[in-house]
């Protein structure tokens, strides 16, 4: 009677995590390759330069049968070079830790209270400038196309300042 351990597992029932542990598994490298494939032609050279490797090394890294791997210490630089953390998200896709799936996300930057106070004062000044420009434009009771354009530009600056303050408070 054949040993159940020697029987090959049906690939249809293998978990995603099992694919990552098979030899020669290169899930991070495959994810990086998928991102590089979606970028322009110079992406391989830029990626190689960011990791201090040759473009040939990048080609070997993307080849699933080649034993070349990205070092663990290069993972952060690789994600920076790609401009995304998608390779890490793909690596942990389907993996549960403490009962939950996890995804990488940006950490909001903390704004110092002094920065918020100064930005708020600049917003108040810009708002006052808009009100003054509006009053000046409406002095004759009409708005010309040039006046509308100027007021629109001032409002756009105000919107950017408000959005920056909202982001600083988040």
Q: What is the mean pLDDT of residues 79-99?
A: 88
Domain boundary among 39, 56, 91: 91
Co-location of 15 and 87 in the same domain: yes
Alpha-carbon distance 27 to 24, whole Å? 9
Token pair belonging to 33: 């390759």
Same domain, 135 and 64: no
Residue 70 sits in the same domain as residue 123 = no
Mean pLDDT of the chain: 82
* DSSP calls for 110-167: PPPHHHHHHHHHHHHHHHHHHHHHHHHHGGGS---HHHHHHHHHHHHHHHHHHHHHHH
Query: Are 129 and 59 part of one and the same domain?
Result: no
Asked whether residue 5 is domain-assigned, the answer is no
Do residues 64 and 133 share a domain?
no
Whether 62 is in a domain gets the answer yes
Last residue of a domain, one of 38, 58, 91: 91
Report which of residues 30 and 16 the model is more confident about: 30
At residue 20, the pLDDT reads: 42
CA torsion angle 147 151 152 158 (round to 10): 170
Judge whether 6 lies within some domain: no
Residues 126 and 161 in one domain: yes
**pLDDT-derived band at 128, boundaries 50, 70, 90:** very high
Q: Which domain holds residue 38?
A: 11-91
Q: Which residues contact 137 (CB under 8 A, 6 or more apart)?
A: 143, 144, 147, 150, 151
Domain shared by 87 and 154, yes or no: no
Rounded average pLDDT over 5-29 = 54
Return the CATH number at 39: 1.10.260
CA 73 to CA 82: how far, in whole Å?
16
- The fraction of the chain above a pLDDT of 70, given in percent, is 83
In a domain, 131, yes or no: yes
Q: Is the per-residue pLDDT at 29 higher than 80?
A: yes
Q: Are 94 and 16 in contact (CB under 8 A)?
A: yes
What's the first-to-final CA gap in the chain, in angstroms?
65
Given a cut of 50, whether residue 19 has pLDDT beyond it is no
The confidence score (pLDDT) of residue 18 equals: 44
Has residue 130 been placed in a domain?
Answer: yes
Q: Is residue 74 part of a domain?
A: yes
Q: Could you read off the pLDDT of 40-68 as tens digits, one per residue? A: 878 889 999 999 999 899 988 888 888 88
pLDDT, residue 25, reads 65
Q: Are residues 56 and 87 in the same domain?
A: yes
Q: Residue 133 — pLDDT band, cuts 50, 70, 90?
A: very high
């Amino acid at each position: 009677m054949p040993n159940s351990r020697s029987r090959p597992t049906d690939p249809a029932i293998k978990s995603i995590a099992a694919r990552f542990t098979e030899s020669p598994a290169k899930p991070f490298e495959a994810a990086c390759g998928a991102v590089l494939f979606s970028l322009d032609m110079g992406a391989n050279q830029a990626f190689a330069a960011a990791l201090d490797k040759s473009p040939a090394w990048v080609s070997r890294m993307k080849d699933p049968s080649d034993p070349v791997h990205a070092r663990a210490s290069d993972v952060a630089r690789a994600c920076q070079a790609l401009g995304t953390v998608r390779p890490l998200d793909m690596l942990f896709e389907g993996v549960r830790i403490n009962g939950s799936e996890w995804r990488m996300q940006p950490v909001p930057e903390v704004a110092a209270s002094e920065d918020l106070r100064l930005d708020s004062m600049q917003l108040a000044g810009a708002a006052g400038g808009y009100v003054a420009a509006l009053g000046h434009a409406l002095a004759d009771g009409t708005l010309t196309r040039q006046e509308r354009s100027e007021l629109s530009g001032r409002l756009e600056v105000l919107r950017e300042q408000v959005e920056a303050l909202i982001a600083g408070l988040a």
